């Protein structure tokens, strides 16, 4: 029993030391994120606007195809429904893609400097988070003319945003961990994201679940993105709030966040060998 307690205390000390080291380098993570954000489209005329324009233009393409051509009786406010989903999904998608590249793109830093490696996917998470918050301004500019004016409930935006930060960190850490021994993961992530996009209630309205087989509807209900979209739309667009979406999303966020960070930290001392 004494040995077990001693091991438990040592583990807690290591966790605290790691967290303190990570926190002490928060400015480094911020400057790295802002550097990535500026350099990503530095050679283009519109620069940082492309972070918002990419999901916006893709969403408009989907709106023309699915909202005007294939879905003649689209639901009211479909454009706001679609774009809110595109921006939320882009936040997670960019976090995953950034996590996949975070270690491999900074291999020289890992070999030559000693620091908590988790700071690299965290920097990409910050970059994606800043871009997402900027995209919300565009979303408000689109929905306010339609009569959807956010009220005091907009303050609750911190809830889904915080949960998605934890969820995205876990995903980014998992992908970063897998990208070292399996370099092909970088090529696989875009296809996984595209499949995830189509399986989430972004392009199609939730009413379509009444027309699909029960097993498929259950799978979509278990999709973590379904819960995130429900929470964001209740805050941003005034959709009915669902407690089941909150609890389900919180469970996904805590579970994926813990598993991703633990797997990453356990492996990070061996990363330099494979770079």
pLDDT digits (tens, 9 = 90+) for 113-138: 677 778 888 888 888 888 888 888 87
User: Cα–Cα distance between 209 and 205 in angstroms, integer?
Assistant: 8
How confident is residue 73, by pLDDT bands cut at 50, 70 and 90?
A: low
User: Across residues 208-223, what is the average pLDDT?
Assistant: 76
Sequence ranges of the domains in the chain: 26-274
pLDDT at 188 over 70: yes
How confident is residue 147, by pLDDT bands cut at 50, 70 and 90?
A: low
Structure tokens, 53? 């324009």
Q: What is the pLDDT at residue 228?
A: 92
Residue 33 backbone zone (phi > 0: left; psi -120 to 50: alpha; other: beta)? alpha
How confident is residue 45, by pLDDT bands cut at 50, 70 and 90?
A: very low
pLDDT at 255 over 90: yes
Tokens 């926190």 correspond to 23
What share of the chain in percent tops pLDDT 70?
74
pTM for the model: 0.83
pLDDT at 166 over 90: yes
pLDDT at 205 over 50: yes
The DSSP-derived string for 49-81 is HHHHHHHHHHHHHHIIIIIIIS-TTPPTTHHHH
Tokens 């996949």 correspond to 100
Least confident window among 20-34, 101-115, 132-146? 101-115
Q: What is the pLDDT at residue 206?
A: 75
pLDDT at 17 over 90: no
């Amino acid at each position: 029993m004494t040995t077990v307690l001693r091991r438990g205390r040592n583990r807690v000390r290591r966790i605290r030391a790691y967290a303190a080291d990570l926190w002490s380098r928060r400015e480094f993570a911020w400057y790295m994120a802002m550097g990535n954000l500026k350099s990503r489209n530095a050679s283009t005329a519109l620069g940082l606007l492309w972070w918002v324009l990419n999901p916006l233009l893709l969403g408009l393409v989907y709106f023309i195809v699915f909202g005007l051509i294939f879905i003649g009786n689209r639901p009211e406010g479909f454009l706001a429904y679609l774009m809110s989903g595109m921006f939320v999904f882009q936040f997670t998608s960019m976090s995953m893609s950034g996590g996949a590249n975070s270690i491999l793109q900074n291999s020289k830093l890992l070999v030559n400097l000693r620091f908590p490696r988790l700071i690299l996917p965290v920097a990409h998470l910050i970059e994606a988070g800043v871009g997402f918050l900027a995209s919300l301004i565009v979303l408000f500019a689109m929905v306010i003319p339609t009569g959807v004016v956010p009220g005091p409930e907009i303050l609750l935006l911190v809830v889904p945003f915080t949960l998605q930060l934890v969820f995205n960190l876990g995903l980014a850490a998992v992908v970063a961990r897998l990208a070292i021994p399996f370099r092909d993961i970088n090529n696989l992530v875009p296809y996984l994201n595209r499949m995830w996009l189509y399986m989430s209630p972004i392009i199609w309205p939730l009413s379509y679940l009444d027309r699909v087989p029960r097993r498929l509807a259950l799978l979509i209900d278990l999709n973590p993105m379904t819960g995130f979209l429900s929470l964001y739309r209740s805050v941003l667009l005034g959709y009915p709030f669902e407690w089941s979406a909150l609890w389900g999303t919180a469970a996904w966020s805590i579970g994926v966040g813990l598993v991703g960070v633990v797997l990453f930290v356990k492996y990070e001392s061996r990363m330099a060998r494979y770079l």
